[in-house]
Amino acid sequence: MPNLDIHVANSGRDWHNGKVGDKGQHEALTSADGAPDASPVLARDVDGEEQLDIHKPKPVHSWREFINEIGVIVIGVLIALGGEQAVESLHWRHVVGETKESLSATVEDAYGAMLSRQEMQSCVDRRLGDIATILSRHDQGEPLGIVGPIGAPTASVVQTYAFDMAIASQAFSHMPITDQAKFFEPIGVYRTFDEVIKDERSIWREFRALERASFLTQADWSDVRKAYNRASDLNAILSANLRNEEPGLWLYPFRPFHKPKSYSLSGIPRVRQLCRPAVSKSPA
């Protein structure tokens, strides 16, 4: 390898071929074979203070040494990248674990909400039968025989923000595809169920008018009949899809999750009213 020629001009001081001129108090270090040493060269001014720290490059004498140097660099880079990936992997493992717990709780709450509506199905069927009887008696000019409040079906309201947050934070995309499907399907089913329940609640509000039936006009009775037809359609949808956990029905995706221990809404006043008699067996 050729010797390194260094020329530094600084306040009258000259360096050339590793030698220092007479005007400066400097010392160049060389190895035993005359090659520049890789140890630092310290330049001192006339007052003896260190001014410059120069690390001269160590010469490479063969391809083997060159490859070794490159190998050390590559291994260092790989170790750094591997460490970064390990830290990132631990981070996402922690985030995904917390997200799964949150989503599992949300799905189990949704499961309970759907079961609560399933539980009151017989009461809903009976009450729609009562309303049909009231409409029939009205059409025939008979006494309506209303003996109690109509009540209304309902279901627990479950917030599914945890699912939206999981997608927005990319935690959902870091889950295995099987886990994604495990959460995605029941949340989607619950949201469909929730839309139907909202419509059902809105329709059943129309039936409160029957509790003051003596004040209803013909237009009011027409509205009650329309509400009855719509409520019957929604009830048919809910009854068919909540009857069991067969494939294709709404409760099927919830099978991998724990069935909530407490989900009944039978203690709510309007549900108690729904399950009590509201119409006499004969006109009175």
- Predicted confidence at residue 51, as pLDDT, reads 56
Q: What is the pLDDT of residues 54-100, one digit of tens each?
A: 555 566 567 777 677 777 777 777 777 767 676 566 666 777 889 89
Residue 270 has pLDDT above 60, yes or no: yes
Listed in sequence order, the residues at least 6 apart from 156 whose beta carbon sits closer than 8 Å to its beta carbon are 109, 112, 113, 116, 263, 265
Quickly state the pLDDT bin for 232 (edges 50, 70, 90).
very high
Per-residue CA distances from 217 to 34, 112, 181, 224, 279 (Å): 117, 40, 52, 11, 20
5 versus 265: which is more confidently predicted? 265
Residue 40 has pLDDT above 60, yes or no: no
Tokens of 206: 């129309």
Distance CA 99, CA 102 (A): 5
Backbone φ and ψ of 146, nearest 5°: -80, 125
Listed in sequence order, the residues at least 6 apart from 181 whose beta carbon sits closer than 8 Å to its beta carbon are none
- Predicted confidence at residue 135, as pLDDT, reads 98
Cβ atoms of residues 255 and 135 within 8 Å = no
Which of 10-24, 37-51, 61-75, 266-280 is predicted with the least confidence, judged by mean pLDDT? 10-24
Cβ atoms of residues 52 and 43 within 8 Å = yes
Cβ atoms of residues 119 and 241 within 8 Å = no
